[in-house]
Structure 1
Amino acid sequence: KGVMLTHKGLVTSVAQQVDGENPNLYMHEKDVILCVLPLFHIYSLNSVLLCGLRVGATVLLMQKFEIVSLMENVQKYKVTIAPFVPPIVLAMAKSPEVDKYDLSSIRTVMSGAAPMGKELEDTLRAKLPIAKLGQGYGMTEAGPVLAMCLAFAKEPFEIKSGACGTVVRNAEMKIVDPETGFSLPRNQPGEICIRGNQIMKGYVNDPEATERTIDKQGWLHTGDIGYIDDDDELFIVDRLKELIKYKGFQVAPAELEAMLIAHPHISDAAVIPMKDEAAGEVPVAFVVRSNGSNITEDEIKQYISKQVIFYKRINRVFFTDTIPKAPSGKILRKDLRARLAAGVPNQ
């Protein structure tokens, strides 16, 4: 996507994160920051490299993600800040290799680029009990950071599992009804909108897309569904366009995925819609079994059914070797939809 980010916007975003007496993202010159994410991804470029350079920290570059190599580097170079994405968090939470290394130097684990469920967050917290763990929320068009976990601040606050923190400084956020555009009250899910000097100038050579994304009042419409609670903390539900429509009810794939990967016999999972004549769409799951597991489709469906209301129940389970993902960690749902449409979901 051709997103036009200005120098002013990038500098504003870095300042929103690491500047001030009590910055939202506390980094200093003695920190060693792990950079395992690709630098063509805005999270890595902005919140890792540029923020690290701004405070004079050491930035440790890895050519690619490999779980053992990552842990060896953390132990050897005494990494203090570990910016991750959910697939890396998942790998660390599920890998028995983690217990073989000294990772006690890590004081902060950041996760972004895709939602991380409460169950996964709690699992990693048990593996790294000393580290502050939390999520940020961003998108390229927003410059990129919209919200930052207050556990990362110089004077940290206790946070709720699954929260993405509060809106960054010198920016405004609101939640709106995606149908009417009207602002919604606290604790009610709707589309997340952001306004501030850090947001994009627009899309390259696409004024129509720019106009659809940034309204006349300067609000950038993210296309993400979330809500703000009574403590000003933001929670992400899912992408607006990825919600599954079951008989008029909306089902968030991320909610079901978090439940699935919390199961000890499941190493990874993704949920997408499947067309259904009666319901319109039904949720179906692609599941990667843990090594040595023979968990069945019926066992997985029963496991989910015990935790959710009727319209969120999984209709089918397809077993696969891997879940396709982009370098940023986002699930490539279009690849799974193509496999489903081609009639070869089990690959």
Structure 2
Amino acid sequence: MMVTDALLVPTQLNYLVKNWTKFPEGYFATLKHVLTGAAPLTAATYEAVRRLLPDVRLRNSYGMSESGFALTVHSPDAHLLTNCETVGRVNPGMQIVVIDENGVPLGANQLGEICMKGDQVTPGYVNNSRENERLFTGHSYLRSGDIGYYDDNHYFYIIGRIKEMIIVDGVNIALAELERLLTGHKSVVNAAVIAVSDDGHGEVPMAFVTVVEGSDVTEQELVAYVDGQVNEHKKLRGGLRIVDKFPTTPSGKIKKPQLLAIK
């Protein structure tokens, strides 16, 4: 069977890149299009895929179960864009606004919660009026729970989940930023960062990573790699653990509540 199109999460692309030499020559010769989703695509992974698979059109997208499928996606020729971390523009028939904590719509380049409306968006959850009241804005936009923004050309960017913003010494920290930094390391295949309680700082980030098979990188080296590139509030004060694999959902998302239970 010849595969020409693939829908992959960034974690799978990162695994492909960092285990490239394990695949036979010509293994991906028939592949023409790759659509990514479920998580932001890092610049490092994007650039590596472009180098290893120069003839493949790589497109990023954004959506959620409640939206039916993709809310945004790159246009077919947008793989040539130099800014690869965007998830594209809004699909026809959809509307997206970015709002602040008071529900006020924001303009370009302002960070807030992504909210959506359209025929394919769910009208709500069955027999759950309380959750529906929380989920929808006063203008019937569905709250995504994702933090992001759009630029002057109406390309959207996803920063992370609202629930994955932590406060360290009064400063808001996006855990996804640290995850992207870790997956930029040559030995790291995937990364997940969570908040753990800390007597001195309230809560601090702790990282879990999987690494390339055969890698001799240490946990201490990876902590130093991150801490050397971030300010004091973003340092991995909670430490870092190298694990064999992550607990994941069928769609490939990491089950973060289960990470501390990994032995």
CA offsets, 1:274-302, max 9 Å, x none? 11122111111112232232322332122
User: Quick check: 1:87 aligned with 2:6?
Assistant: no
For the aligned residue pairs, the C-alpha RMSD in angstroms reads: 1.8
For residues 167 and 174 of structure 1, the distance between their equivalents in structure 2, rounded to whole angstroms, comes to: 10
The structure having more radius of gyration, on CA atoms, is 1
User: Quick check: 1:269 aligned with 2:194?
Assistant: no
Counting only pairs closer than 5 Å after superposition, residues 110-259 of structure 1 correspond to structure 2 as 110-150=35-75, 152=76, 156=78, 158-159=80-81, 160-177=83-100, 179-259=101-181
TM-score, with normalisation over the residues of structure 2? Answer: 0.92
Say if 1:120 and 1:258, in contact at 8 Å, map to a contact too.
no
Letter in 2 for 1:324: P
Give the unaligned 5+ runs of structure 2: none
Q: Pick which of 199-208 and 249-258 moved more.
A: 249-258
Task: Tell me which residue corresponds to 1:332.
Answer: 255
Say if 1:238 and 1:253, in contact at 8 Å, map to a contact too.
yes
Task: Name the one with the larger helix percent.
Answer: 1
Letter in 1 for 2:95: E
For residues 255 and 164 of structure 2, the distance between their equivalents in structure 1, rounded to whole angstroms, comes to: 11
Q: Pick which of 166-175 and 261-270 moved more.
A: 261-270
**How far 1:83 sits from its partner (Å)?**
1.1
TM-score, with normalisation over the residues of structure 1? Answer: 0.71
For residues 140 and 190 of structure 2, the distance between their equivalents in structure 1, rounded to whole angstroms, comes to: 39
User: Quick check: 1:321 aligned with 2:233?
Assistant: no
For residues 157 and 125 of structure 1, the distance between their equivalents in structure 2, rounded to whole angstroms, comes to: 9
| DSSP 3-state at the match of 2:152 | coil
Say if 2:205 and 2:234, in contact at 8 Å, map to a contact too.
yes
| DSSP 3-state at the match of 1:90 | helix
**How far 1:99 sits from its partner (Å)?**
5.1
Task: Name the one with the larger strand percent.
Answer: 2
**How far 1:175 sits from its partner (Å)?**
0.8
Say if 2:62 and 2:70, in contact at 8 Å, map to a contact too.
yes
CA offsets, 1:299-347, max 9 Å, x none? 212211232222111121112111221121111101014x2xxxxx6x3
Task: Tell me which residue corresponds to 1:109.
Answer: 34
- Equivalent position to 2:222, from 281, 297, 300: 300
Aligned residues: 260
Change (3 A) 1:282 1:239: same
Say if 1:86 and 1:111, in contact at 8 Å, map to a contact too.
yes
Percent identical among aligned pairs is 35
- Equivalent position to 1:97, from 8, 11, 22: 22
Give the unaligned 5+ runs of structure 1: 1-75, 340-344
